[in-house]
Structure 1
């Protein structure tokens, strides 16, 4: 296939950027020119994947979601910051490429407004990426997230609806907001196995379920347990909703004086010092490569967002979930439970005895482990970045020969 210029538009977020990097690397390896809109936080990794970087300033540098969700007007604020983030990505791409548009616009599901408006402005085909569940006429991740957080569709919030109508109008789009929101691209790359997708049987050839990106790890020094015979537990609440030192203290206390070795990834917002002295079999890091710990883990205790879930399943590790900590975790956590791949701790169960009992019960459940192994096989056989690149090239060949 002849070389193409492909623009990637993505939001600042580990669970959005990282799944795309394998595809970027594979397309660049095949000779395509890749331009990628991102923030300084991910610029080095995007460059290393083989892309030219276009920087934008993220609204989330100063907008702290865990604080906003507690406020009375949280619904309006969260919808509006979503629109502002899309506009920031949109403007950065327009300024960088101007009248020299790419051959294809590839956009993440979060900044889909920016991606679709860029494609419309330049009259170019587009491909959607999603590291979470795909959406079609039968299932919508956006709607599930709004429902789990007690929010309405942005089109039903007057202050947000007017902003969206004005933005779309500037690009000649007069489609009603709800219809625009639900329109489906000719190709969506889904970074999970089809067996994990709700209503999987309703998704047609427009959707390629390629599984998570598991490449780029060879040669990296990996974490090793201090005792080779110790059962290992990984604990994490992700990157956004981790300011809960009491939870991490309870986890440390739960496994003190036990054979378990506990690795806690507490995020950049917490200083490990606030946890106080930890038992000798517990270690805390602001960040650690999950896959290096999961390679040795017997169980993982996490909030349940899709990226963390798939990372654990790719390593064959079952999950104990605490989804109430993260606004976006409910849909994937519910799917984990539906498929029998883990268990849930309620907010009233987050004391040491209950945490330890849940982890040890899960680790001993051979039926759960077998179901997790089947999901692991599905992930490893989904095709990964090579299949994703094949799908993109085939699509380009059909719509822009």
Structure 2
């Protein structure tokens, strides 16, 4: 079988596809990945063939993102989905995906949930397609009414067929019930590697601090990281801070000796050993932590992060600290009250075993779903 995978920019959008890509490769399927230029460095490290499509101009993206940041969170999400993922992203990626569907002739198209050009191309060439969840279904469902605005220009009924297509998700049903009639859950294998001992043999609990791959683009990014480090570094813990590649750890100033900073560390390597994750509430980080049975403190900044924070807190697998240090129409900052709240939340979770126990229960539920390969073997389209 030939399977075409399509993603928008951002590793958080691509990573949910990886277990399925690897399962197809293991089965002997022919795989082709089509993605924007921003993902080429990541795709170049993998063994599957790929093609690079187009992307909106930096000027266009900057104009839309300025409007997004000036809006209340829900309105900003709507604009982001409609304009960036919908109008601009679909137009930029459609030529490469049309060419792939026409010339490579896949038997199946699997796309992350906010990549729409592959759906248009698949519909035009009569190819079955399914969407792969990036976020919680509650968040994805809230953006579904925007699909018509994004896709009606490409043909009648495409949005309706997208919403009726199979919905594939790694997230556990108890945490993330799905409103979609055809929902399949799956999990990928955890293959953690060795984590260097950056703390000279110290054995205090390990706290992983990350704000994901996109927060580094915010003008307040360095201040956000400094505030979170200030919150947890006074505790009797080891801290691993990953900053992403958009800011430099030297921008954060001197760090305590028990705080180690890296641009990036494989998530599975950290989570196997972590006692707590303090993060922005991004789906990749949150659900990766829960799959490893690690409780989470979410400090949501934008997009789907507030929804994820509420889900984690409601499940008893962590808590949420919503930033209060900036107006809603300005880039987020963390004030002194936020720092104290994060510190108190970390002390509470590290001292109360029920949070870890609840996270481990969710991990067990996720492991009980079919593997990505088992799902592909039974998927009917």
Q: Is the 8 A contact 1:25 1:49 kept in 2?
A: no
Could you say what secondary structure the match of 1:128 adopts?
A: strand
Query: Are the aligned partners of 2:233 and 2:239 in contact in 1 as well (CA < 8 Å)?
Result: no
Could you list the per-position Cα deviations for residues 356-382 of structure 1 after superposition, in whole angstroms to 9, with x for gaps in the alignment? 221011111222221111011112222
Q: Aligned in 2, Cα 1:164/1:389: closer, same or farther, shift over 3 Å?
A: closer
Q: CA deviation at 1:301?
A: 0.8
| Superposed displacement of residue 389, structure 1 | 2.2
Task: Tell me how far apart the structure 2 counterparts of residues 126 and 49 of structure 1 sit (CA, whole Å).
Answer: 23
Report the counterpart of residue 373 of structure 2 in structure 1: 386
Gaps of 5+ in 1: 147-151, 156-160
Aligned residue in 2 for 1:141:
140
Q: Is the 8 A contact 1:68 1:77 kept in 2?
A: no
Query: What does the per-residue CA deviation read over 1:380-401, in whole Å, with 9 as the maximum and x for residues that have no partner?
Result: 2222322232234xx2xxx5xx
Q: How big is the shift at 1:92?
A: 0.6
CA contact (8 A) 2:208 2:270 kept: yes
- Provide the rounded CA distance (Å) in 2 between the counterparts of 1:257 and 1:84: 45
Residue number in structure 1 paired with 2:352: 365
Residue 69 of structure 1 aligns to a residue whose secondary structure is helix
Are 1:209 and 2:208 matched, yes or no?
no
| Corresponding residue to 2:125 among 98, 122, 127 | 122
- Give 1:23 deviation, angstroms: 1.3
Cα distance in 1 between the residues matched to 2:7 and 2:117:
9
Distance, in Å, in 1 between the alignment partners of 2:373 and 2:210 is: 30
Say whether residues 1:237 and 2:211 are aligned partners: yes
What root-mean-square deviation, in Å, do the aligned CA atoms of Structure 1 and Structure 2 show? Answer: 2.9
| Match runs of 1:345-364 below 5 Å | 345-348=321-324, 350-351=335-336, 352-364=339-351
User: Of 184, 195, 199, which residue of structure 2 is paired with 1:222?
Assistant: 195
Q: 1:321 to 1:310 in 2, by over 3 A?
A: same
- Report the alpha carbon displacement of residue 14 of structure 1 after superposing the two structures with TM: 1.3
Give the Cα separation in 2 of the matches to 1:33 and 1:263. Answer: 38
The count of corresponding residues between Structure 1 and Structure 2 is: 359
Structure 1 partner of 2:266: 289
CA contact (8 A) 1:24 1:50 kept: no
Q: 1:315 is matched with which residue? A: 292
Q: CA deviation at 1:337?
A: 1.5
Q: Distance in 1 between matches of 2:196 and 2:56?
A: 34
Aligned to 2:97: 93
CA distance in structure 2 between the partners assigned to 1:278 and 1:66 by the alignment:
32
Q: Secondary structure at the match of 1:106?
A: strand
Does residue 277 in structure 1 map to residue 254 in structure 2?
yes
Q: State how far apart, in whole Å, the 2-side matches of 1:182 and 1:18 are.
A: 21
Q: Name the structure 2 match of 1:158.
A: none
Find 1:264's aligned residue among 221, 238, 241: 241
Residue pair 1:28, 1:50 contacting (<8 A) in 2 also:
no
Structure 1's 307 and 257: CA in aligned 2 closer, same or farther, altered over 3 A?
closer
Change (3 A) 1:308 1:95: same
When normalised by structure 2's length, the TM-score is 0.83
Indicate if the aligned counterparts of 1:22 and 1:49 stay in contact, CA closer than 8 A: no
Residue 45 of structure 1, CA deviation: 4.9
Aligned to 2:319: 343
Q: After TM superposition, give the deviation of residue 208 of structure 1 in Å.
A: 0.9
Q: Is the 8 A contact 1:8 1:37 kept in 2?
A: yes
- Structure 1 pair 66/225, CA: closer, same or farther in 2 (3 Å)? farther
Moved more, 81-90 or 70-79: 70-79
Distance 2:264 2:45 in 1: 20
Q: Distance in 2 between matches of 1:100 and 1:269?
A: 35
* Aligned mates of 1:7, 1:258 — CA distance in 2: 47
Gaps of 5+ in 2: 325-333
2:108–2:127 Cα contact (<8 Å) kept? yes
After TM superposition, list the pairs within 5 Å mapping 1:1-40 onto structure 2: 4-40=1-37
